[in-house]
Amino acid sequence: MQKINGEVVFSASDLVHFMECEHLSALDRLHLDAPMEKAKDSEEAELIQSRGFAHEKAYLEKAKLRQKNTSTLRRWATHGMLKSLRQWLR
């Protein structure tokens, strides 16, 4: 989640956070206006993250080979879902 020209812009992770836990989204929104110090990731968390990124990259490459018209979340997310998230976070 970030502000661009004064407007809140959401990422795919923000949508996942919202679907999993409204409180997490509320904390993310608070952090946007009043940044809090972030805890350093543990070695285990960094390992999981790096493996997750590698998995996502490999999956996307396979999808591109199977289909010529792959899309990212930003292109196929419904306007209604994004509008609902924006309204809730304000």
Residue 61: inside a domain? yes
* pTM for this entry: 0.42
| Domain enclosing residue 70, as ranges | 2-36+46-89
Residue 20: inside a domain? yes
The confidence score (pLDDT) of residue 23 equals: 92
Residue 80: inside a domain? yes
Q: Helices marked H in 1-90 — which ranges?
A: 12-20, 22-33, 43-66, 73-76, 79-89
Residue 85: inside a domain? yes
Provide the number of structural domains found in the chain: 1
For residue 73, give both structure tokens: 């979340």
Residue 67: inside a domain? yes
Residue 76: inside a domain? yes
Residue 41: inside a domain? no
Residue 65: inside a domain? yes
Q: What is the pLDDT of residues 29-80, one digit of tens each?
A: 998 989 888 889 899 999 999 999 999 889 888 888 887 666 655 544 555 6
